[in-house]
Structure 1
Amino acid sequence: MSQNVYDQSEFFENYVKLDRQTKGLDGAPEWPRLREMLPTLKEAQVLDLGCGFGWFSRFARSGGAARVRGIDLSEKMLEKAHSMTADDGIAYEQADLENLTLPDDEYDVVYSSLTFHYLTNLPSLVAEISRSLKRGGRFVFSVEHPLFTAPTTPSLVVVDEDTGRKAWQVDAYQQEGLRTRSWFVEGVHKQHRTMSTYINLLLSSGFRLTDFVEWCPSQEELKSNPGWDVELIRPTFLLVGAVKD
C-alpha cells in the first residue's frame, strides 16, 4: 500500500496552506503549460488520478466534460474535495493507485498532477491507464522532475561561499528507487526514476509522446515571482502528454 502522509494531521495542516491549495490551479505555476497539453474536454469521460481537493475535476466539468471520476488515497483530501464540489457529474473515490484496476475503453482523458513519483508500481498503473483509454485518448500528467528527485543527500542546494553561486546536487541519478525527504514531516517517501524510464514506460504501453516539458518560468513570471529563480538551477516539474494510438 502507498504511504499516506496526507492524512497525517501535521502534514495536512501545512499542505492546505500551499498556494496550489488555497488558489487552486491558478496557484500551480506549471498549470498553464499543462492546460495547453489537454484536448477539448467537451463531452469527455475524464479520469483524475490523485485528485486531491478536486481542482482539476471541477475544471474539467467547467470545460464541458460529461463525467469526471476523481481518485485519491487520502481521506482528508477527499473530504475537502466533497465539501468544495456540488456537481453530480463528478464522482470522488478513495483507492490506492498502486493496485488500481480500471475498465476497458472507458476514458477520453486521463490526468494526474504530481502523484506518480510517490508510486512504486507505476508500470502496472500505466498499463491500466492504456487499457482504459479509448483509442486516440489523451494522457497528461506531471511529476517531480528526475533531477529534482535524484539526490540522496539532505542538503540539496549547495552555495559557493566565495561567489554565492547555487548548484543542485545530483549524486545518484542512474540509481532509481526510494528517496526519503523531509517535507512538512520527516520520512516522506518518493520514487526516483530517470527521464528515459518515464519515456520508455509510455512507449512500451502503447502511447505516442506528444508533449515533454521540463518546466521553467518565463521571464515575465520571474519578474512577478523573484523566488522562482531557483528553477533556473534545476527544473522542479516534468510535464508529459501522450496519446493512445
Structure 2
Amino acid sequence: MKQNKYDDPEFFANYSQMPRSIGGLNAAGEWHALRAMLPELRDKRVLDLGCGFGWHCRYAREQQARSVIGVDLSENMLERARASTNDDAIEYRRLAIEDIDFDAEQFDVVISSLALHYVERFDIVCQKVNRFLVPGGAFVLSVEHPVFTALAPQDWYYGPQGERLHWPVDDYHHEGRRQTTFLEHQVVKYHRTVATHMNALIDSGFAITKLSEPSPDREMLEKHPDMQDETRRPIFLLMAAMKHE
C-alpha cells in the first residue's frame, strides 16, 4: 500500500502548522540525536527517502555533500521543498519509497526521517538501500518507536481528571498494520518490533553501528515545556548502519 495523505489539502494544512514544519530541524525533538549519528557528509552522494520539505537535503548540502536526491510521494511536499531550495546539486523526485530504483553503489549515504513506519515491507527497502550504497556506505534512519506504534490509538491512559497516567503498551509482538489518528485524520502505519528492525538491517548486509531512543534535550524542553511528557516514554527509534566492506 502506497499511502499519500500529504496531498489531502486538509491534512497537509494541519501538517504545515506543526512546529517541525515551521521551524525545521531545530524544532524536531530528535534532531540532536539524528545529527550526531550522521557520518561526514562532505563530498558524499546522499539519498533522502521521504524527504518531505527537504530539510535534511538542504542540511546535507550545508555540510558540503556533493549531490543530494530527495524522494517523496507527495507533490505538496515536493512543491514546498523546491520552493525552499535554491541549489542545483539537490534534485527532488516524486516517487514512492516502495518504488525506489537506482544504480548499484550510486550513493554514499542514505537518510530517512520518520517515513519508513508508513511502508509495509521494511525488509525490502533495506535490501534496496544496501544495493544502492557503496561498500562502507551509511544508512541512517528514524521511525516511530515500537513502544509508540504497538497500540493503534497511540495515546496516553488518562486519570479521572484527564491527567496522563501512563503510556499503554500492548500487542507489541503482533506486528503489522495499524490504523490510527494523526492530525485528525485516519492514517495507516506499520508496527514492527525493535528486533525486527535490527534483523532486517543485519539480514540485508548491514552492520548496526548505533541505536538511539532520544528524548528532547534540555534546550528543546526549555523552548517547548509542553514536550516534558516526551521524556516519559520513547517516541522515536533511530538507527545507524554501515554496508559491509
Structure 2-normalised TM-score? Answer: 0.94
Structure 1: unaligned runs, 5 residues or longer: none
Q: In the alignment, what sits opposite 2:77?
A: 77
Does 19-28 or 44-53 show the bigger shift?
Answer: 19-28
**Cross-structure match for 1:184:** 183
Question: How much has 1:125 moved relative to structure 2?
Answer: 1.1
Q: Deviations over 1:203-234 (max 9, x none)?
A: 10111111101111345543443222212321
Opposite residue 192 of structure 1, the aligned amino acid is H
Partner of 2:130: 130
Q: Does structure 1 retain, via aligned residues, the 8 Å contact 2:148–2:154?
A: no
- Structure 1 residue aligned with 2:237: 238
CA contact (8 A) 2:78 2:92 kept: yes
CA gap 1:213/1:182 in 2 versus in 1, 3 angstroms: same
Note if contact 2:156-2:164 (Cα within 8 Å) is conserved in structure 1: no
Over residues 14-54 of structure 1, what are the superposed CA-to-partner deviations in whole Å (9 max), with x where a residue is unaligned?
Answer: 10111111111111111111111111111100001100111
**C-alpha distance in 2, partners of 1:24/1:221?**
13
AA aligned opposite 1:212: L
Match of 2:120 in 1: 120
Taking the aligned partners of 1:197 and 1:118, their CA distance within structure 2 comes to 15
TM-score by length of 1: 0.94
Say if 2:63 is the partner of 1:63: yes
CA contact (8 A) 1:146 1:192 kept: yes
Aligned length: 244
1:73 counterpart letter in structure 2 = L
- Identity of paired residues, percent? 44
Structure 2: runs of 5 or more not aligned: none
Structure 1 window deviating more from structure 2 (218-227 vs 41-50): it is: 218-227
Q: CA deviation at 1:76?
A: 0.5
Q: In the alignment, is the contact (CA less than 8 A) between 1:102 and 1:129 conserved in 2? A: no
Which whole-Å CA distance do the structure 2 matches of 1:70 and 1:117 have between them? 18
Instruction: Report the residue type matching 1:24 in the other structure.
Output: G
Which position in structure 1 is the counterpart of 2:2? 2
* CA–CA distance in structure 2, aligned partners of residues 155 and 190 of structure 1: 11
| RMSD of aligned residue pairs (Cα, Å) | 1.6
